[in-house]
Structures are given as C-alpha cells and as structure tokens.
Amino acid sequence: LVHYLRDAEMQKNNKILVRTSVVDNGRVLSVDLSANDPCLGSAFVITLKKGEKIVLEKPITSRTERIANDTLVCASCDLIVSLPDNIRLPVESSDPVVVWFGPTILNTTGSNARIDLYWEIPSPTYKSHKVIAVPSKSTGDNISFVPGKGKHELAVTQPVGGASFVNLSCGMYDVKLNNGVKTVIKKSVNVLSSKTKVVFLATNESGIQLDFTQNHPCLPSRYHIELRNDSGTVLTEGWYNGSRVNLTNDFLCDPCHLIASVPDAAQGSVEPSDSLAVWFGEGELPATNLVIAPDVGFSSSHFGGKTSPSREGFLSKNG
C-alpha cells in the first residue's frame, strides 16, 4: 500500500522539473531540481544535446549541480534531465530546456591582406555583438561604432559563425569582440601585404652584399638564404637577421643560384625571391644579371672575385 500511494503521488507530476541559470559571466550553468517530489531521491542524469548529438551526459547525486567545461560551448544546447536506468519509477524525463553557457570563443587568423574570423557566442543576446578590427596603434576598449579610417567592423548575426575582413593594409591589428557594452575578447593579429615576394639588391663589395631594405615593411627582418647548383641541389644555406647580409665569396660557384625566403609562419603569403645566378671564381665575369623586384623595378647586380673551392659555410656576420 505504501508503494502504491508513493507511485500515485509521483504520477500527479510525471515529468522531472528543471530550473536553470547561468553564473560566472555565462561560463557556468546552474541546474536546480529541488522542485521535484522528494520521493524521487537525488540521483539524476543530465544530458546536453546540440541538435541530435549528445555533447554531455552526466550522472549526478544531488538536486543542484553546476556545469562548467572550458571546451563545451552551448550556443545553444537542449538540456534534458532523466532518472538513471536502474531506477524504475513512473516519471518521465524533463521537457528540453534551451540553455546558453560556456566560454566565448573568438579565433583570428591574419594572412594575405585579410583577417579570417570564427566565433562561438553562448548568449541569446549574440546579435548585440560586433567584431571590430583597428590598427594596433589605437588604444583603449571604448571604440566608437562609427566607421573611421583604418577601422573595420561587422555585426554578429549568428551565435556560431565566421567572416573575414579583406583588402587590409599590412601590420598589426587589434581585433575585438564587443557585446554592445564592453570588449569581451581582444586579440592581436599580424596582416601581411597581398602577393608579397622577397626582393633584394646585390653588389660585390668585400663579398656579396645583400640589401633587403626594399622589402615590404610587414616582412620579418629574418631571411633564409641558400645556394643551389644547376640541378636544384642545395649546396649550403643559413638563417640571417637584419636587412643587410654579407656573403663572403669563399664558395666555388660556376654559377650558383641564390634564393632568399622568410620564416615558415609568413610563407603562406610571401613567396621566395626570384633565383639569381651568381659566379664565384677565376675568369671573366658574365653579363650583368637582373633581379626582378615587384613594386620596385629592375636592379642590376655584379658578382666576381677569386675564391678557394671550399664548400664550408658561405655566410658571414650580418650587415
């Protein structure tokens, strides 16, 4: 009789009741099950779903629970609370409750005259957010929403999505996600110029002097220099910092092909230099060689001098 009365009481409210709230600036979900009949006990299973995909299934042994996960962003999720499989009572799972919580995410990638964006905003007020990009010389978080010189902005229309700022000038940018009241996230992004190629001027004065000062100012002042033979085999190579490099002519080239490039991080938008034929050794100099320098023009370079046939490193101190 006791069991019958208890079951009858539960059937009056045959669905689990759920109350939710978010705390810690929206990062933590608080689940309150205290409104349910005491006869249900305190064993439940919390399930979070994105569409049909289960992203979290958590057994709990309390009527209150806080859910926080730095890798889980609900923008949004359906929350369902049920009884464990081993508890057989005539009580249905809760109705789905739409919840928004988790860390706000803004990913930025600077590349070829553009900034690519991806965001996840776990807030039902996501449409109040804007993404703003300004040159890093601008300071402070209180940026006017009126477009100004050098500033780019876009309105967020989806809680999870992406976009791009294109046709940007090169340099460092501050990219900010603003919720209409304050800056939520701020990141620095380096943007390189479109279709950039490494260029240099070369002269033969106390060794081969390479001058990289005509490169785009966005390029890092660090260059990888290599010499190849006619078949493309790398004979020697090295990394150098600075805009002027001195290559001592103690390497036998008849000819060698000199190529300069930049670190891997910039190679997606910066091409290596054109190959330049250089001669080291005895005899007459060949005709003048030309370096094609985009946005710079043509420059003539002469090479020569007596050398030993040593193949030990050809790079000297930075200029």
Q: How far apart are CA 197 and CA 112, in angstroms?
A: 12
Domains of the chain, start order: 2-101 (2.60.40.10), 105-191 (2.60.40.10), 196-318 (2.60.40)
Residues contacting residue 138 through CB under 8 Å, at least 6 positions apart: 150, 151, 174
Mean pLDDT (whole number) for 51-55: 96
Quick one: pLDDT at residue 280?
A: 60
Which amino acid is residue 250, in one-letter code?
A: D
Does the pLDDT at position 56 exceed 80? Answer: yes
Q: Which is more confident, 181 or 262? A: 181
Alpha helix ranges (H) inside the chain: 2-12
Residue of 187, 172, 194, 199 whose CA lies nearest to 261: 199
At CA 173, angle to CA 213 and CA 143, rounded to 5?
140
**pLDDT > 90: percent of the chain:** 48
Long-range CB contacts for residues 143-152, cutoff 8 Å, separation at least 24: 143/176, 143/178
pLDDT at 198 over 80: yes
**What pLDDT shows up at residue 293?**
36
Cβ distance 91 to 16 under 8 Å? yes
Q: Model confidence over 210-269: pLDDT tens digits?
A: 999 888 766 778 899 998 888 888 888 899 888 898 876 566 777 889 999 987 655 456
- Cα distances (Å, whole numbers) of residue 5 to 15, 37, 39, 179, 219: 18, 13, 11, 53, 79
d(C-alpha 248, C-alpha 232), whole Å: 21
Task: Mean pLDDT check: name the lowest of 25-34, 103-112, 115-124, 163-172.
Answer: 163-172
